Amino acid sequence: MMETLSTSVLSTHGLVARYGDFQALYGVDVTVNEGEAVALIGANGAGKSTFLRAIMGLLPVAPDMVRLGGQPIGGTPTDRMVQKGVAIVPEGRRLFSGMSVEDNLRVAVDQAERLGRKGGWSLSRLHQLFPILKEKARTPVQSLSGGQQQMVSIGRALLCQPKVLLCDEISLGLAPKVIREIYAALPEIRGQGTAVVLVEQDVGLAQSATDRLYCMLEGRVTLSGRSGEVTREQIGAAYFGGSHAVV
Partner 1 sequence: MQWFDALVQGVLLGGMYAQYALGMALMFGVMRIVNVSHGDLVILLSLIGISLATSFGLGPFWVMAALVPLAVAMGWILQKVILNRVVGDDPLPSLIATFGLSLALQNLMLQIWSANSRSLPGGGIESRSVEVAGIYVGLLPVIVLVFATALTLCLDLMLKRTRFGRALRAAAADVEAAAMTGINPRAVYASATAIAVGILGFAAVFQSLRSTVAPADGGAQLVYAFEAVIIGGMGSVWGAFIGSMVLGISQAIGFRIDPGFGVLAGHLVFLLVLATRPQGLFGKS
CB of 85 to partner 1, least distance (A): 11
Q: How many residues bind partner 1 (CB under 8 A)?
A: 31
Could you report how far apart the first and last alpha carbons of the chain are, in Å?
28
Interface with partner 1 in residues 74-103 (CB under 8 A): 77-79, 82-83, 87-88, 90, 94-99, 103
Q: If we measure between CA atoms, which residue out of 94, 105, 90 comes closest to residue 139? A: 105
Go through 108-147 and write b for each residue having 16 or more CB atoms within 10 A of its CB, e for each that does not.
Answer: bbebbeebebebebebeebbebbebbeebeebbbeebeeb
The least CB distance from residue 5 to partner 1, in Å, is: 28
The interface mask with partner 1, positions 36-75, x = CB under 8 A, is --------------------x-x-----------------
The contact mask relative to partner 1 for 107-146 (x = CB under 8 A, - = no) is xx-xxxxxx-x-----------------------------
104 lies in the site for partner 1, by CB under 8 A: yes
Alpha helix segments (H runs only) across the chain: 48-55, 78-84, 101-114, 123-129, 132-135, 146-158, 176-183, 186-191, 203-209, 232-240
Tell me whether residue 83 or residue 201 sits nearer to partner 1 (CB atom). 83
CA-based nearest residue to 32, from 197, 234, 166: 197
Site residues (CB under 8 A) for partner 1? 56, 58, 77-79, 82-83, 87-88, 90, 94-99, 103-104, 106-108, 110-115, 117, 156-157, 160
